Structure formats: structure tokens, C-alpha cells
Amino acid sequence: MNNDQDYLQRAVELARINVAEGGRPFGAVLVKDGQVIVEAVNEIHLDQDPTAHAELLTIRRASQHLGSRLDGCVIYASGQPCPMCLAAMYLCGVSRAVYGAANELGEPFGLSTAAIYQQLALPLSEQRLNMQHLPQPAMVEVYENWQARHAAH
């Protein structure tokens, strides 16, 4: 495997296998420098963890080998990454993501996260999830303590 199409076809094959084994139709492959670092499938069906998405699992497992920064890595996903997985990609520095099925394709099957993307595009005060900010002055000291410890390394 040495190109986007090959890696993406592997992610689709992982999704196919996962469906045959009782899981959801999502697979992902994380690649760095032309090497497959890790593959994963959606594992929600195994332990009811709603965050056990294929992309997030590739990030978790790759980080055990490469550290918390995944700069230079590419994630190939069978379906369009949900906002949670996309945010995780940003947080860990994934350089690129390639996906096979867009939300529009998944919509008739109940497999689209477009509604969540729409919610996140709204100001917090307009989102369906009630978010309340209660400022905590003590957090300044906590952040300063973290910064001092982090800068020392």
C-alpha cells in the first residue's frame, strides 16, 4: 500500500469486516511516512463506549507508540469523521485525513453526523446542549502551576 486509494480501500475493508462481526460500518488506518502504524474499527458494540470510533481508536493506539503528537500522520477513514474525531485529529496534530463516505451518503442509513456539525457551528448560547460557564478564579493558579511545570521540561 503506498497511495491514498490503497489505504482508503483498506479502511473500507475494515468497515466491511466489522459489519460482518456485528459492529458499525467504520474502519480507519493511520499512516506515517508510508507505513501503516495502526488500524482500527468502530468498537462501540463491544463495550458500549460511545467514543470508541475507529478514528479515535487509531489515535489512541498510535499515540502509545509515537507519543501524543501525531504530526506527519494521515488518517484514512471509511466514513466522514464525526466532530469528536475531527477535533481529536486537530488536538494531536494529524496532518491530513482522507475519507470515503460523506455524511450525505450515510444520512439515509442513520450514519450521518451532519446534525452535530450544524450544532457546533452555532454560538454556544444557541446550541441544543445547555452549556453554562461558572468562572472559577482558582483555575488561574492551576493553569500557572501547569505552565511552570511544563516549562521546566
13 is catalytic: no
The burial of 13, by beta-carbon neighbours within 10 Å (0-12 exposed, 13-18 middle, 19 or more buried), is given as middle
Q: Which of helix, strand or coil describes residue 99?
A: strand
What is the rounded CA–CA span in Å between residue 105 and residue 39? 23
Q: Cα(52)–Cα(28) distance, rounded to whole angstroms?
A: 12
Cell of 51: 467514543
SS3 73: strand
Catalytic residue among 13, 21, 39, 55: 55
Burial of 89 (0-12, 13-18, 19+ CB in 10 A): buried
Strands 73-79 and 35-41: unpaired
Active site residues: 55
